[in-house]
Amino acid sequence: MSPSKGNGGLVYSTEGGRMCPQCRRPVADCRCGQPAAVPRTDGIVRISRETKGRGGKCVTVVKGVPLAAAELQELGKQLKAACGSGGTVKDGVIEIQGDHADRAMEALKARGYTVKRAGG
């Protein structure tokens, strides 16, 4: 089968030895079968409001949630629904379109997180 069919690719490297076909890392460094690591935080979720770099549009930013990527994605989906707005999850940060800091704080406190308002 050729590499253009989707199943091919690098199998062996002279530098790293055998390569994992899914993550393309050396087999010794493969993380495919392991659960995603939960980022270490101080246990406080911080909510702030930002407009920088967004053409003057306000975005509520939630940082410091101690969850793995898949769980953070699900929490972001729930927060967006609670605020009735769109948004995204990027690099461990939940961004919700609009100024919804109060609603997000209530929703996170109801889930048992320690929440602080950051910024102005």
Q: What is the pLDDT of residues 85-97, one digit of tens each?
A: 999 998 889 999 9
Angle at 114 between CA 65 and CA 81, to 5 degrees: 60
Residue 4: is its pLDDT beyond 60? no
Assign 73 a pLDDT band (cuts: 50, 70, 90). Answer: very high
pTM summary value: 0.67
CATH number of the 44-117 domain:
3.30.780.10
Residue 29: is its pLDDT beyond 60? yes
Q: Domain boundaries in the chain?
A: 1-34, 44-117
Q: DSSP label at 25?
A: S
Residue 12: is its pLDDT beyond 60? no
Could you tell me the CA-to-CA distances from 12 to 21, 24, 25, 67, 91 in Å, in that order? 10, 10, 10, 34, 30
